[in-house]
Amino acid sequence: MAAVTTWLITGASRGLGLELVRQLSSTPNNVVIAACRNPASASELQALNPVENAELYTVQLDVLSETSIRASVAEVEKVLKGRGLDYLYNNAGVCPRDEVFSFDYSEFLALLQTNVAAPALLGQVYAPLLEKGTKKTIVNVSSTLGSIGTDLGETTATYSVSKTALNMLTYKQAKARPDFIVISVCPGWVKTDMGGAQAALEPSQSIEAQLKVVLGLKQEHSGKYYSASQNGKELPW
Ligand SMILES: NC(=O)c1ccc[n+]([C@@H]2O[C@H](COP(=O)([O-])OP(=O)(O)OC[C@H]3O[C@@H](n4cnc5c(N)ncnc54)[C@H](OP(=O)(O)O)[C@@H]3O)[C@@H](O)[C@H]2O)c1
């Protein structure tokens, strides 16, 4: 029997997370665990059918809730049936449009929880399952808007702050766990609810490009920041 590759993807209800689940579950030998906060209302996700020899499961996970994050581990373990987790894909995110001297404080705190603290806690609680996996990989979905060295100067102030912090999380996780591969990846500007209709890429193009980066990862890539839309180019922090 062929070896399977196991994936846990957050924010799988729509946008890039949904497309990632669609592509992975179309490939044999993938076991895909699609996590979303409201599985019952995620109709596009529920409509997906995995190809033969692939498996697709849905797990409830609201990344704004510590209880939900911790409770998800037992659900995922049930699905994995003793197998390890190969890829933890921290994709869920939010992006309020604001400016640095005029933002909503409560919204900023929730943003930091969703975009930074949740991926950090997910890394912590899923580390034992990643240890049991073969690939031992964490993908933190970031953005070039979090790259100080790129400085796109857009009006997404608190979002940019959150993605810069997420990049530091990647760096710290990689340093702390040399046996893991941890990267930040920017999906490019993509036509989703977040990216808007004017964006440059279709979700399918971004996910193909992200998977090219992710499936080619080797230990020496850990702790780095890549642009999927620029052919896997390494980005400046
Ligand atoms: N689109 C772009 O151009 C672009 C560019 C750079 C980076 N990114 C990054 O790519 C990732 C995916 O973005 P997207 O474009 O697919 O955004 P999207 O279309 O707005 O989808 C966001 C996803 O995150 C989920 N999410 C938000 N808060 C959550 C929570 N508390 N618990 C669980 N899930 C939650 C949403 O679930 P619900 O349906 O439950 O709300 C949804 O599935 C994000 O990290 C984003 O920052 C996107």
pLDDT tens by residue, 74-126: 999 999 999 999 999 999 999 999 999 999 999 999 999 999 999 999 999 99
Which pLDDT tens digit goes with each residue over 175-201? 999 999 999 999 999 999 999 999 999
Q: Which atom of ligand 1 is nearest to the CA of 193?
A: 19
Residue 176 half-sphere exposure toward CB, CA atoms < 13 A: 11
Name the CATH topology of 5-234. Answer: Rossmann fold (3.40.50)
φ, ψ for residue 234 (rounded to 5)? -75, 135
**137, 217 contact by CB (below 8 A):** yes
Task: Give the model's pLDDT for residue 26.
Answer: 98
Paired sense of beta strands 30-36 and 181-186, if any = unpaired
Q: Is 193 in the pocket of ligand 1 (CB under 6 A)?
A: yes
What average pLDDT is seen over the chain? 97
Task: Give the model's pLDDT for residue 19.
Answer: 98
Q: Is 11 in the pocket of ligand 1 (CB under 6 A)?
A: yes
**The tokens of 68 are what?**
């939900």
**19, 11 contact by CB (below 8 A):** no
Task: Give the model's pLDDT for residue 1.
Answer: 64
How many A from CA of 154 to the centre of ligand 1? 18
Q: Which of 44, 68, 94 to mutate for ligand 1's pocket (most ligand atoms within 8 Å of CB)?
A: 94
- Indicate if the pLDDT at residue 154 is higher than 90: no
- Indicate if the pLDDT at residue 32 is higher than 90: yes
Give residue limits of the domains in the chain.
5-234
Q: Is 6 in the pocket of ligand 1 (CB under 6 A)?
A: no
Task: Give the model's pLDDT for residue 152.
Answer: 79
Confidence band, pLDDT 50/70/90 cuts, at residue 160? very high
Q: Which atom of ligand 1 is nearest to the CA of 191?
A: 1
Find where tokens 């590759």 sit: 5
Cα 33 → chain centroid: 12
- Indicate if the pLDDT at residue 131 is higher than 90: yes
Percent of the chain at pLDDT > 90 equals 97
How many A from CA of 3 to the centre of ligand 1? 30
How many A from CA of 145 to the centre of ligand 1? 15
Q: Is 110 in the pocket of ligand 1 (CB under 6 A)?
A: no
Task: Give the model's pLDDT for residue 66.
Answer: 98
How many A from CA of 1 to the centre of ligand 1? 35
